[in-house]
Structure formats: C-alpha cells, structure tokens
Structure 1
C-alpha cells in the first residue's frame, strides 16, 4: 500500500500577501474615485448627446418610438450611475417608468416625454445638484408620471 503525501506549495502571491506594506482599502478606493472622476466630463457629454437624441425622437413623435425612448432614458441612468447625478437619475427613472406604462398600454403621450426632457436639461444645467429647483422639477415629474393614461 502506498503512503499518501501532502505537499504545501507556497505561491509568490501568498508570500506577498503576508508581507507588510501595499495599499490600504481607503487608498485604493480614493485612487479609483480619482480615476473615475477623470471621465465625468465625457460621461456628461454622452448624457447630453442622449438628451439630444431623445429630443429628435420626441420631435418626430413616431407611434412606434416607445422602446427607443425607454432605451435612451435607461442609458442616462446607466451612464449617470457612476457619478452622483441625484435628481437627473430620478428624472430619467421617472421617464423610464412613464415610457414603460405607455408601451404597455399602447398609448403614447408625447408632452409627458417632452416635460421629462426639459426637466433633465434644467437639472443638467444646474450641475445635477439637488436643491429647491430640482425638487420642484421632480415634484412636477411625479405628477406627470401619476397621470392616468387616456385610451
């Protein structure tokens, strides 16, 4: 009968992890935040492009453009999710909700889309900071999104 042997292999990584030094979690988090912040202007420009495209879609008012409105609004949420866009996120989420309800009911109300679009532009112009103006805009969007759909 053969005897079972167990070998412990020490990898270079295991050795490095036991040595003192390196970065703390706080340092790594800070550095990642700094790197991410370098992309803020580019992301905000991409969000502005999405708003421009949403403006063109709303101007055309095509009866089958609902999924496109939803896609654009959700892309604003996705892009802004890397940064603190506060009220912009809420406005885009509200538009997604409105678009989803309209698609489901097969009833389209373009003024609701345009109101959301203008609110998002105003929020962007204010630096996406919460405040009295954004609170009023979001309250208006809540009333628009709670509006019953006419059939």
Structure 2
C-alpha cells in the first residue's frame, strides 16, 4: 500500500489576501451604509403603504385580524431595522408585542392598535426623528403595552 499524499492548493482568494493593500473594514462599512441610504426613501414609502393597509384594517375592525396586524407591524419592523428610524422601529415593535399578546390571550382591543397606527403615522410624518414628541408618543405606547 502506498502512502497518502497531501496537496496544498492555493486559491485565488488566498493569494489575493496575502497581497498588501486592499480596503479597510471601516471604509467598506461606510460605503455599505451610504449605499443603503440610497434606498431609504423607497423603504419609507413602503412603510407608508403598509401603514395605510393597517389603518384600513383598523377602520374595518374585523373580529379575527390579529395575525394580519402582527404581519403588518412585523413588516414595518423589518424595513425600519435597516435604517436609523429610532422611534418608528420602537413603535412598530410595540405594536408587534401587543398584537402577539392579544392573539395569545384570544382577546382583541382595536383602540390599542389604532393608537399605535396613529403614533406610527405621526412618527413617519416627522421624519422618524427622536425628540420630545416622539418620546411622549413612545411613553404612551409603553403604557398601553404594559396594560395589555
């Protein structure tokens, strides 16, 4: 029987990584963030459309819409998470939290959802900026979340 032989194969990537130069991680991160920001307006428009769907659902107030409300709020959280949206992310997450609790308890309270939808609309209209208004809105949403 013959002895096994080991071959070392150098890939193109391994050779390139040994070469001096290249880009630094912080520069790549800065470039990625700048590239992502070019999509912010489209993402916020999608958030506005999702919010309009949520508001229409609130107007109808069907008996069993918990999963739909959760899916809409989760969609807003998903988009808001990619950008610095501060209070928008928090308000949408709060809506996910209360809708999940109401689904689990099998009790639905549309006014709580409506207040979240209105707060989301105000935060979106305000450019998702953190300030006294958004802090007050989020404090109100937290009080709703604690009682539900």
TM-score (norm 2): 0.94
Which residue of structure 2 lines up, in the alignment, with residue 113 of structure 1? 113
- Quickly say closer, same or farther: Cα 1:146–1:2, change in 2 above 3 A: closer
CA RMSD of aligned residues (A): 1.3
Which residue of structure 2 lines up, in the alignment, with residue 70 of structure 1? 70
Which residue of structure 1 lines up, in the alignment, with residue 25 of structure 2? 25
Runs of 4+ in structure 1 off by over 4 angstroms are: none
Which residue of structure 2 lines up, in the alignment, with residue 12 of structure 1? 12
Counterpart-to-counterpart distance in 2, 1:18 and 1:30:
24
Q: CA deviation at 1:124?
A: 0.8
Which residue of structure 2 lines up, in the alignment, with residue 52 of structure 1? 52
Counterpart-to-counterpart distance in 2, 1:56 and 1:118:
12
Counterpart-to-counterpart distance in 1, 2:12 and 2:2:
31
Query: Unpaired segments of 5 or more residues in structure 1?
Result: none
Q: CA deviation at 1:34?
A: 1.1
Count the aligned residue pairs. Answer: 148
CA offsets 1:62-118 (integer angstroms, 9 cap, x no match)? 001111001000110011110011111111111111111111222111111110011
Q: CA deviation at 1:53?
A: 0.2
Counterpart-to-counterpart distance in 2, 1:10 and 1:147:
62
Q: In terms of mean alpha carbon deviation, does 80-89 or 138-147 score higher?
A: 138-147
Q: CA deviation at 1:7?
A: 2.6
- Quickly say closer, same or farther: Cα 1:58–1:8, change in 2 above 3 A: same
Q: Secondary structure at the match of 1:73?
A: helix
TM-score (norm 1): 0.92
Query: Unpaired segments of 5 or more residues in structure 2?
Result: none
